[in-house]
Structure formats: structure tokens, C-alpha cells
Structure 1
Amino acid sequence: MIARAVSLLTLLLLLSPRSVMAADEAAVLHLIPSGARRGSTVEVLLRGSVNGKDSRRAWTSHPGLVVTFGKKNDRIKVEVKADVPPGRHWIRLANEGAASSPLAFVVSAIEEIAEKEPNNSSAEAQILKSRQCVVNGVLAKSRDVDSYRVSLRKGQTLVASMTANTALGSPMDGLIQVVSARGFVLAQDDDSLGLDPFIAWTARRDGDYYVRVFAFPSKTNSSIQLAGGPEFVYRLTITTAPYVDFTIPSAFTGKAPRALQVIGWNLEKSQQTWTVDGKTQGVSDQYFHAGWSNTISLKRVTHSSQVESEPNGRKKPQIVSLPVTISGRIGAARDRDVFSFKAKKGQALRISVESRQLGFPLDPVIRISDGKGKKLAETDTRSASTIDESITWTAPAKGKFLAEVRDLFDHGGPRYSYRLTIEPVVATVSATVEKDRWEVADKPLSIKLTVTRSGGFNKPVRFEAVELPAGVIAKPVISEPKGATAKAVALVLSRKPDAPARGSGVLRIVGRVDGVKDAVTVATAAIDRLPDRTEHLWLFLKPAAQKKKKK
């Protein structure tokens, strides 16, 4: 009797459908390491796992990133082709029924090293022999401290820069210290790059020094102690080689070659100038030049790019023509940079300044006044989520007006760099969806597109899917400038009769306007744990429900 029961159970297991087998998994929070040197291949540990054997697949934001899967569900290999530009790229891991959110993967052009434990104290510090490297580490447990030993000569400048919370989404508020051999803290930083730290420090004597990193949680709690955990992933650049802070100007058009002044540390004279042109390519406004240890923010614009020229205070403002992006610095305490421009009555302008989001200490304030100096508008936003300033302002009359940039606390210095843009408000439209992963089964899937029109955009927009997994179709839908569809529409996806039972792939939705060649907008969704958004959504085909047979 027992033997018959066991045989029956075995038969049921063999005949059971996939639905009662192991569920699809692709819950990956981080990649370790979270980057690699171009021209290399690395084994990457997943903070999570992706099952499915041959059904596993990967999407990457650059074709030069090639992902291969092995026997282990928590390991992948990433090959970085030599032509992949340095900067932050994205990898999504998936199988037929689950997918990760896009995961940040940073490509560099310098040596990459793995953190080695134990390295909590100076006595156990990991020795770094390279003068230009990125350490991929994890503050793996509560109160974890990672220490690295470097040898410096008198007058040599050490740069240590962490990438963790801002670019990788690690839930940490990191700190960096430079410590002497006797244990004295010589330099410390915590929030120069958002919640990520940055130090540039010059040695006063020859010797061994220690770079020490630790963290608090990014979301404060009542513990008031050092934090750590499997998700406290970081990349730490440690270098005495060329490290670039910013360029002057920090914007270019690409229409003609433009010589940029390069500002940073450990730069040879030949490295203090860089010429860019239309062929200069970057990754999401991050650019790299041979010999550097890092990428920098450089903005490609379609209008004039100018450089602030002192003196340009309230008594002698610098004259500019719109639209324009101005690269400047609040070079000293109580400095005010003032720019004079002309505007027509009723002309709507957007004035924005970028600084803290670029890693600089300026806490910017924008003031708009008339030609006589009477204040018309001033920004006063102060919150953790708004670190730079922008204002939409309408000229009350035809004439000359002044745009002023200063620091909230009247601080200033060589690194108080900013990028100020003054431009007419442009009619635009955007679209968002509530999540980046969707599934369609036997019933059609309706995806709500939230449509935002600004600057007087008043044209019908036709939304359509331009990338879909095999076996799925989508009927275009139109958002009219007025009425029920002006602010939201539903794009309906359904499976074809001959669609495969299961599958997954990229879903991309664009908005088009009649008479315009290119798409006017692409629908985006939030990326987990980061402020970034992605236009490369993911769609699953789920098995159609089995119809019950009539008895």
C-alpha cells in the first residue's frame, strides 16, 4: 500500500505543470562589483538570484556590455568591450517570468580592485599599490569599517571619491577619512556628492596613510551607530593620478571645436586644456578623456555656451543673449554673479542653476530683478530633495532684467562652480507609467500613461509601442490636447493567437505628433532605489489560463 502511494506521488510530480515547480526569481538588488574596467571580463556576485537556466537573459544599455550566465543563480559574467565609454550603464536580468529593475554598472578606464577582508583596522588595512584604482567593496555588517593603506610623498595630492548612494542606490550615508600612521584623522568628508563623500588631501610629509570608509544608514533611525549590510555596496576611487573636478565652460554645442580649461588635481600642463567637438561622446552627460581617473559632468546644448567674466556684480552685470548656458564660479565669500538680459513682455523664461547635483558645495539662490535692481522673484526652496534651484518666470514688461546667482550662506571658493541656464519656456509633453515591469496573459493588458503637457503644448499625441516581445501587439492610442485623454490614456496590449506560452522582453512606448519625424516623448518609469527613470520597460507573457473541459 505504501509503495503504491509513493509511486502515485512520484507520477504526480513528474506530470505536474511548471506552475507548481520553483517560482521564477529575479530579485536582484545590487551587483558586486558594480562596475569594471573597459576591455575586461569580471565575475559578478548578485545580491539576489536569477533562476531559470536556459530561459535567463539580460538587457544592457550598451551593446558592448555582454552578460553570460553560468551554473549558479547568483553569479554572472560581464564582458566590457574596449569601446564602451566610461560612465554609468545599466543591466537588467530576467527569465520568462521575473526581472530585476535596471541595475547600475559603472565602466571605468582604470584598474579595478576587489575589497579584501579583514580590513577593519589600520593593522589589517588592504595595501593599495596602484596610484590610480577603483576599489569595489561592501560594508557587509553593522559597524563595519574598511581600511586601505597608501604610500604618499610630501606634496602629493590624494583624491578619494565614493560612489554608493547617489549612483548605485546603496542605502548608506558614507564617510571617508584620511588617517595618519599614528591614528590621527587628517581629513574627513561625508556629504560632498549627495550622501557620498569626497576628499582631496595633500600630504605634508612622506609616509604611509590610511583611507578609512564607514557609513550611517541613508534613512536615519534611533540607533545612532555605524551601519552596514549586504546592500551597502560602494565603489571607491583612490588616486594620485589626474582627477578632474570640472571644466570651464562646463557646456558645449558641438558645432565647432571648443577648448575647455580643465580644473582638478595632479594634472600635467598638457592635461589642463581639452578640445571637444561634435564627435565627442559621453554617457548621460558624463564625459571622459584619456589619462583621467574619472568622468565629469559636461552638458551638450543647442544654444549659446558662455563663461562668467568678473567683475559682474550688481553695478556691472555681464550682458548675455538668450537662450544661454553660463559656466561660472562664486569665487569668494559674499560674491554675487549678475547677468543682464533682454526679454519681451509676457515672455516666459526658465532660469535654472546646477551645482550641488554636480558635486559642488554651492547652495544656490536665484534672484530676478528689473534693470534698476528691484527684486521681482527669488528662489527659496529648501529641502532634502531639492538641492539646486530653478524658476519659471514671466517678464512683466519689455526691457532689461538681471539674473543673480549667490550662495545661500554667502560662502564661496574655487569649487563653488555652477551652470546657469536662461531659456524660453518650450512647449513639451512627457509620459510616465507607474512601474517598469508588466505582464500580459489571456486577457488584454491596459497600461495607464500619465501625460503631462507644459509650455502650452496643444497637439494630439499618438502613443505606440515600438519595441515588444514576440507574440504581443499594441493598438496605438491618442491623447488629445483637451478633454478626457489630455492627461491620461490607456495603451492596450494583447497576445497574438500564435504567441508563445511564455516569454519576456523590452517594452518601449513613444509618443508621436503628425508631421514630426522623431518621437516627441518616451514613456518612463522609476528605477528602484534611485531617482533615475528608464524608458526600457519589461513585459512578460504569462501562460493563458487553461479552460476547464465540460464533463
Structure 2
Amino acid sequence: MRRNALVGCLFGLLLVGDVRAAVPPAHTLLPAGGQVGTTVSVDVVGIVDLTGMQFACSVPEIRGVMSPDKKRLLVTIPKDAPLGLAWIRLFNAEGSSPPLAFIVGHLPEIQETEPNDRYSKPQVVTLPGVVNGRLEKGGDTDLFQTTLEAGQTLVADLEAHEQIGSPMDGMLQVVDERGFVVAENVDFRGLDARVVYTPTRAGKYAVRVSAFPSQPDASVQLAGGFNYVYRLTLTAGAFAAHAFPSAIARPNPPATIELRGHNLPPAQGVVPVPKSLPMSDHLLVHAPQVANPVAVAIEPHAVIAEQEPNPLDRPQAVPVPVTICGVIQERNDRDVYTIAVKKGQPIHITLDAVSFGSPLDALVRVRTKDGSIITQVDDVKKDADPTLRIVRDADEEIRIEVTDLYSHGGPGYAYHLRITPTPGPASATVPAEQFTFPVGQPFEIKLTIANPSGKPQSITAEGLPAGISLVEPVTIPDSKAKEVTLKLKADKPGISGGFRLRIGEKNLPSRPVLAKLGDSNRTLDWLWLTTTAEKPKAK
């Protein structure tokens, strides 16, 4: 279910001959982000002395230096830096720290000031803004107060577990001047909360942040700690819940996309689509007057919009292959589509919602024309987005129904439903986000492969540090290959730097090779290499 959602399935992992050197023991950054056009003073939680450390960022435009006393990091974010998640590493001759999440925004930044744990003495803030805070100990709560007019909608959005990796299951509550909770939310997006509240009377209202541990224990108490770091967006202005359409086609995308959400008139959320799409499977879109960016999927086939009404007795006919952009508009809403299938022809159905930040916990049912249920899927393993494959024993018309598992719904319950006669693209994973290896002999990294289409694939390397190279090209001939070996060689010890791997068919957009981050649900494609003069140790 949603608490156990894993955004992006990973497969079996194996590494040959890896040597993990001692690395800088960083845990997280505080603040875990900053505003474009500013320089941010950042505490690297876990490293007291930054002497000898060097800075690297997955977004090259973002630069960093150590403060004069070597106790903090000074991160400079240019005005034109891309919004969204970036990764920061601190490294030395021994290796790199784990990648540390750093979220780039455009709203003013607010630093939490203690004490602010009682509704009678909250921290007063000006909207809009992003609060950078930390729940420092068990039982800690943080309150941030603002003044709202009657009918003015407040949006409070918490970023902690899903992007930053904080070990917290966050809760947000809106508290009025009497101390009464008037709105609250948990687990809106994974383990991160979002609350939207419109008061009926003017007054002072505080947003209270608290958390349970992301790994439940027997205490059933509010939790905190040195790594319970969060970012809290607070606004009474425009906030995007999703884009519509939430997917676009390559090579013929629409001219514009509409951002939909709260305090967001239609004309204010219209965003132009670039004529040249990035060679990836998604695009991050943003309007200057809107608090946040949102992701849009890029599809290799036709993309259409849901057409209401489309209940079970009046389903919307759609072609195959297709991606349908829809919204479960209200409680108990059901969107139903009909397709024609051939005897023995596989049909692959994938729904994306949680994976791009939607609160929809989707249930997909496949029915016959007369309404009988053939199969239904909610979660797939630990992924909260459904995926299924069906094969029928006769030519017939089938119906595909989308709804929320708990009958929830609303303007933000967006999804895109992908229906194809072929399985999805190839994917690959590596067993770690960084590797340390000696010079003088090839170093092997085993990649775990899923290639359901069976079409030939290639693994390419981007941005290898100078002095490190591939020994030979890596190809995947068919769907039988479950692992491939990437061989690297280095000219000298002391090389350290980031790189990326990609998998794809010739002349088609490739996909990133991903590494899982520890025990969290997070993945990244910005890997790291360090070379040493040491011989590899026996495993």
C-alpha cells in the first residue's frame, strides 16, 4: 500500500571486486535546498571539519566552497539553475560522501528558529516561503504561524522522506488561535504530507510539523533526531498539484501544458513546451508565478486526454498503443476505457500516479464487455502503481477501469495510463552509487538488466572522469541476458569524479542506469568513481 510504495522497481544486484574506501561520513544537509540567485550557508550533518574536502554537484551550474572556518559549506545557486532535485557530494582522496539531496526552488527561504514547539509561541513567517527545519529530538514539533483571510487557501507541502531521505513519516496539522486542529494530513505523497486549508473566518493559523519514524517501532511516539531534516513550502498563492496533460508524445508534443492545482487560474498555469524535448523520459515544467515545478512524462506513442463522462456503461474507446491522461475527479469516480484485443496478443497496462507525486492509490480492473472482472491489480510488489499483462483466448473488446483503492478523489488525483502491445523499455541497475578501484587492472561492475522487448541494447558511459575509460563496448543482444559486465581501466591513482550510465536502443532515447540509495526508496543516476593504488581486497 502507499506507506510501502517503492518509486521505481529495482532488480537483483551484484558487484565484482568492489573496494569501498573510507569516505566522508555525511548524513544530510541543513538546509537541504536553497533559492535560485542566492548563496546558501549549509551545515553538512555528520562532518564537523570540512578541511581537505572538495565539492561536486550533479547540476554543474551549482558551485560550492568551504567556509573560512571549514565548518560549513557555501553553495551558490545561479538565477538560471534548473529547479528541482540536485545531488551534492563532498569528496577527498579516499572517496566520496553519499549523495546528499539539495532541492532548488524559487521562493524565499526561511530558517527555522527554536523554540517553536508550542501553539502559544509559534515562529511567525511571511508567505510565500520555504521553511528549512529539523525535528531535533523525540517528541519535537515545529509550528509556523501566518495570518489568513476568510476564503484564502493555504497550501503546506512537506518534503522530507521521499526526496531528502529523512527517516521520518511526516504529519502536518493546521492549528487555529485557540489551539484546535482544523486540518491535518499524513502520507499524501509516500511518507510526506500535504495539507490544503481554506478558513471560513480571518485569523492567525499555524502549521505544525511532527513525525513518526519511517520504520515503525513499538514506541508509537513522535520522533526526531539529527537527520530529521525537512523543507516545508507555505503559500497562499498558486501551487501546482499536477500538469495536464501529465504526459506528452515524442516527436509531436503539444505547444503548451496547463498546470492545475490550488489558487491557480487556468491562464496563470499555461506553460510552453520546448520544441526540442530532452533525451529522457520526463520533463520538469514550471511557471514563474507558481510555487513549485511538476514532472511530465515523455511517451514514444500517441497521448490522449480522458473524456468525461466515461463510466462503465459508456466507456471511452481508445487506440493501442496509447497513454491516457486522466484525473479521478471526485470520491467514487471511475474512469473506464475500451480497447479491442486479438486472440493470443499480449496487452501491457501500466499506470503512473505515485511515481510523479499524485496521491492516487490506483486500482486497475480489467473487465469483459458485459462487465465481468477478468483481473484487478493494486500494488505491484512494493510499488504503489499498478502494472499488469493480459492475454485473451479470443478476439474481443475489453474494458479497463481506473479508480482509487479507497474511493478517494479530487482535482489532484491525476494519472497516466499506458496501454501497449509490447512490454516497456529496457532498464538496468548497479549495486552501489559509488565505486573505488585500484589502477593496473580492469575493474568490473555487474549491471542487472531487464530487457522485456528482447531488442538489442547498448550501455553507454557519459562524463567519465579524465583518466578512466571503458575497456570495451557493452551490448545486450536479447531478453535472455540478465546481467552484463562493465569493465573500466584507470591511468593513475587519485582520480575522483562523477559519471552516468545509460541503456537504450540505437537511434532511440536512452534511459539512465540507476542505483538505489541505502534502505530508502530513492534512486539516482549520478554515480561516482575513485581510483587508488591499493590492491582489491577479498570479499
What is the TM-score normalised by the length of structure 1? 0.85
Q: Which of 189, 194, 199 is the equivalent residue of 2:190?
A: 194
- 2:465–2:495 CA contact under 8 A, matched in 1: yes
Higher helix share: 1
1:10-42 per-position Cα deviation (integer Å, ceiling 9, x unaligned): xxxxxxxxxxxxx96412111111111111111
Partner SS for 1:167? coil
- Name the residue aligned to 2:426: 429
Which residue type is aligned with residue 89 of structure 1? A
Partner SS for 1:214? strand
- Shift in CA distance, 521/208, structure 1 to aligned 2, threshold 3 Å: closer
Q: Shift of the alpha carbon at 1:410? A: 3.4
Q: Which of 471, 481, 506 is the equivalent residue of 1:486?
A: 481
- 1:474–1:493 CA contact under 8 A, matched in 2: yes
| Distance in 2 (alpha carbons) for counterparts of 1:274 and 1:262 | 7
CA RMSD in angstroms comes to 2.9
- 2:41–2:73 CA contact under 8 A, matched in 1: yes
**Does 2:516 correspond to 1:526?**
yes
Mapping 1:417-496, distance limit 5 Å: 417-426=414-423, 428-442=425-439, 444-459=441-456, 463=459, 465-476=461-472, 478=474, 481=477, 486-496=481-491
| Distance in 1 (alpha carbons) for counterparts of 2:212 and 2:150 | 32
- 1:139–1:214 CA contact under 8 A, matched in 2: yes
Mapping 1:32-431, distance limit 5 Å: 32-49=30-47, 53=51, 56-129=53-126, 131-253=127-249, 255-268=252-265, 270-271=267-268, 273-278=270-275, 285-381=283-379, 385-426=382-423, 428-431=425-428
| Distance in 2 (alpha carbons) for counterparts of 1:256 and 1:537 | 31
- 1:48–1:74 CA contact under 8 A, matched in 2: no
**Does 2:495 correspond to 1:503?**
yes
Identity %: 33
Aligned length: 513
| Distance in 2 (alpha carbons) for counterparts of 1:495 and 1:286 | 36
- 1:187–1:201 CA contact under 8 A, matched in 2: yes
Which residue type is aligned with residue 136 of structure 2? A
| Distance in 2 (alpha carbons) for counterparts of 1:474 and 1:325 | 37
- Shift in CA distance, 541/271, structure 1 to aligned 2, threshold 3 Å: same
The answer to which of 335-344 and 133-142 deviates more is 335-344
Q: Shift of the alpha carbon at 1:159? A: 0.8
Structure 2, gaps ≥5 residues long: 1-20
- Name the residue aligned to 1:541: 531
Q: Shift of the alpha carbon at 1:421? A: 1.6
Greater radius of gyration (CA): 1
- Shift in CA distance, 271/521, structure 1 to aligned 2, threshold 3 Å: closer
- Shift in CA distance, 492/358, structure 1 to aligned 2, threshold 3 Å: closer
The answer to which of 210-219 and 461-470 deviates more is 461-470
| Distance in 1 (alpha carbons) for counterparts of 2:509 and 2:243 | 32
Q: Shift of the alpha carbon at 1:259? A: 4.6
- Shift in CA distance, 419/507, structure 1 to aligned 2, threshold 3 Å: closer
- 2:50–2:72 CA contact under 8 A, matched in 1: no
Which residue type is aligned with residue 56 of structure 2? W
| Distance in 2 (alpha carbons) for counterparts of 1:73 and 1:24 | 20
What is the TM-score normalised by the length of structure 2? 0.87
Q: Shift of the alpha carbon at 1:468? A: 3.2
Moved over 6 A (4+): 280-283
The answer to which of 267-276 and 337-346 deviates more is 267-276
- 1:253–1:278 CA contact under 8 A, matched in 2: no
| Distance in 2 (alpha carbons) for counterparts of 1:53 and 1:340 | 63
Q: Shift of the alpha carbon at 1:328? A: 1.8
| Distance in 2 (alpha carbons) for counterparts of 1:442 and 1:322 | 51
1:503-546 per-position Cα deviation (integer Å, ceiling 9, x unaligned): 31124445576xx246855543222354233333211111357x
Structure 1, gaps ≥5 residues long: 1-22, 546-551
- 1:176–1:197 CA contact under 8 A, matched in 2: yes
- 1:368–1:402 CA contact under 8 A, matched in 2: yes
| Distance in 1 (alpha carbons) for counterparts of 2:508 and 2:312 | 43
The answer to which of 149-158 and 448-457 deviates more is 448-457
Which residue type is aligned with residue 498 of structure 2? V
| Distance in 2 (alpha carbons) for counterparts of 1:143 and 1:511 | 46
* Greater RCO, CA 8 A, separation 6+: 2
- 1:128–1:148 CA contact under 8 A, matched in 2: yes
Q: Shift of the alpha carbon at 1:183? A: 0.8
- Shift in CA distance, 147/319, structure 1 to aligned 2, threshold 3 Å: same
Which residue type is aligned with residue 471 of structure 1? G
Q: Shift of the alpha carbon at 1:176? A: 0.9
- Shift in CA distance, 521/195, structure 1 to aligned 2, threshold 3 Å: closer
- Shift in CA distance, 199/280, structure 1 to aligned 2, threshold 3 Å: farther
